[in-house]
Structure 1
Amino acid sequence: MSPLLDVRELVVRYGRTTAVDGVSFQVDAGETVGLIGPSGCGKSSTAAAVLQLRRPHSGEIRFGGVELTALGERELRAVRPRVQPVFQDPYGSLSPRRRIRDQVAEPLRAQGRWSAATGPGRVRELLALVGLDGEHGGRLPHELSGGQCQRAGIARALASDPELLILDEPVSALDPSMRAGILNLLLELQETRGLGYLFICHDLAAVRHFSDRVLTMREGRLTAS
């Protein structure tokens, strides 16, 4: 059985600086692969390349058997809903001027899956899935806690019906109680939906607790697995 995500000899450069240098790894459906390392080691550059937010200098990124680096922007639009990010800053990843329900609905509208008859109900389902309700949906981000905002960000990611989530430091900005709640939510979603996770973090204890496998990066290279 082919892996959900297959990264081979990935190289990411910024001018003359090599941020990611020959990185290879796989993520299976329903598996969590942790990626750990110090700041500046290339973790987030790896995530950006997988998400095709940053085109790699060389290497292959296969998702569901499709070589992403060979696709044009129009073809990528059809694939992107299946690979969704959850970012570090729960407030910064949401628009401060739009209500939560509208931001969760945004992927449905963008992908042509919104209708007046079913859309509002789908948004309520997504909010309930992450432990929020209609009252939370009617608020602006600054009216929610950091943990609630991160739950809203996860609901927005789930609106695209993804198969893989790229979790880039998803709990590092939260206090310990909120951190545990988000990690437990992610585990529940994985069990019920079979999601694959690439979990990027600098906290070794959290990565080991949460991940099926752990990869370590230093200076753009994998040093252990």
Structure 2
Amino acid sequence: MSTPVIPPPRRAADDPLLDVRDLVVRYGPVTAVDHVSFTLEAGETLALDGPSGCGKSSTVSAVLQLRRPDAGEVRFEGRELTALTERELRPLRPRMQPVFQDPYGSLSPRHRIRDAVAEPLRVQGRWDDAGGPARVAELLDRVGLEPAHGDRFPHELSGGQCQRAGIARALVSEPRLLVLDEPVSALDPSVRAGVLNLLAGLQEELGLAYLFICHDPAVVRHFADRTIEMRDGRLVAG
């Protein structure tokens, strides 16, 4: 049975790309996210700050619908995601993509970089329509990798190169939103600026929105348009 094609609903010009309302996530008796609300505009970077265990990861998991929230709404491109079945969500997922903290753990050690970047297109059945090999080669070049890097396995790349490959994999689906979960914290200080500059350039070029998790105040001040802070599952500033 083929995956249904769900066109995005019409969105008013002044509506945010992402609108999170009264989000609640519980794990048994523990409330990890307690009525959190925020918006994110197209082309904007919103930083989500706070100590470990404050609910940031649970929030972004609920935004991406990797973990269904217990209450609240997540509206993306005007569509209320929590009301959709998994089958209805499937064609929307490519437009919201994560970039994880661990550049090596986010890619299969058994796949060459070129195949790892291509995998989402194959899973979505868009390999031929998207131009397959040409699309992968274009993205590797766009993130600053050489063609030879595509033939290597993740362990054969540096941390910065591997994170660039992870960014290319996220971009291959042509998303509108990237969820950046500590994307530079595992990298050497000497390569962090290069990856952040790459993300800034991609945002300007492609109009991407970023939901950005980071513990480094200097990076947040430099990179984010706005910051909201969480403590004990609640927003305390923003």
**Pairwise TM-score range, normalised by the shorter structure:** over 0.9
Alignment match, 1:47: 60
Alignment match, 1:18: 31
The one-letter code sitting in structure 2 at the alignment partner of 1:74 is: R
Is 1:193 matched up with 2:193? no
Q: In the aligned structure 2, how far is the partner of 1:89 from the partner of 1:100?
A: 15
Is 1:120 matched up with 2:133? yes
3-state DSSP class of the match of 1:78?
coil
The one-letter code sitting in structure 2 at the alignment partner of 1:119 is: G
Alignment match, 2:5: none
Q: In the aligned structure 2, how far is the partner of 1:100 from the partner of 1:190?
A: 23
Displacement after TM superposition at 1:181 (Å): 0.8
Alignment match, 1:69: 82
Q: In the aligned structure 1, how far is the partner of 2:213 from the partner of 2:67?
A: 17
CA RMSD, Structure 1 to Structure 2 (Å): 1.1
Alignment match, 2:184: 171
> What runs of 5+ residues in structure 2 fail to find an aligned partner?
1-13
Alignment match, 1:144: 157
Q: In the aligned structure 2, how far is the partner of 1:137 from the partner of 1:25?
A: 38
TM-score between the two structures when normalised by the length of structure 2: 0.93
Alignment match, 1:98: 111
Displacement after TM superposition at 1:116 (Å): 9.7
Residues 1:105 and 1:46: Cα distance change in structure 2 (over 3 Å): same
The one-letter code sitting in structure 1 at the alignment partner of 2:230 is: M
Q: In the aligned structure 1, how far is the partner of 2:69 from the partner of 2:157?
A: 37
Alignment match, 2:9: none
Alignment match, 1:108: 121
The one-letter code sitting in structure 2 at the alignment partner of 1:13 is: R
| Structure 1 residue ranges, 4+ long, deviating more than 4 angstroms after superposition | none
Residues 1:134 and 1:44: Cα distance change in structure 2 (over 3 Å): same
Q: In the aligned structure 2, how far is the partner of 1:15 from the partner of 1:179?
A: 38
TM-score between the two structures when normalised by the length of structure 1: 0.98
Query: C-alpha offsets along residues 89-121 of structure 1, whole Å, 9 cap, x if unaligned?
Result: 000000011100001001111111112993111
The one-letter code sitting in structure 1 at the alignment partner of 2:96 is: V
Q: In the aligned structure 2, how far is the partner of 1:152 from the partner of 1:108?
A: 15
Alignment match, 1:57: 70
Alignment match, 2:10: none
Q: In the aligned structure 1, how far is the partner of 2:89 from the partner of 2:234?
A: 27
2:168 to 144, 155, 164: 155
Displacement after TM superposition at 1:201 (Å): 1.0
Q: In the aligned structure 2, how far is the partner of 1:41 from the partner of 1:205?
A: 20
Q: In the aligned structure 2, how far is the partner of 1:92 from the partner of 1:111?
A: 22
Displacement after TM superposition at 1:85 (Å): 0.2
Q: In the aligned structure 2, how far is the partner of 1:92 from the partner of 1:22?
A: 31
Displacement after TM superposition at 1:193 (Å): 0.3
Is 1:4 matched up with 2:17? yes
Alignment match, 1:85: 98
Q: In the aligned structure 1, how far is the partner of 2:190 from the partner of 2:180?
A: 19
Identity %: 74
> What runs of 5+ residues in structure 1 fail to find an aligned partner?
none
Q: Matched residue pairs, number?
A: 225
Q: In the aligned structure 2, how far is the partner of 1:173 from the partner of 1:117?
A: 32
Query: C-alpha offsets along residues 162-202 of structure 1, whole Å, 9 cap, x if unaligned?
Result: 00000011111011121111110000000000000000111
3-state DSSP class of the match of 2:35?
strand
Query: C-alpha offsets along residues 124-145 of structure 1, whole Å, 9 cap, x if unaligned?
Result: 0010110012100000000000
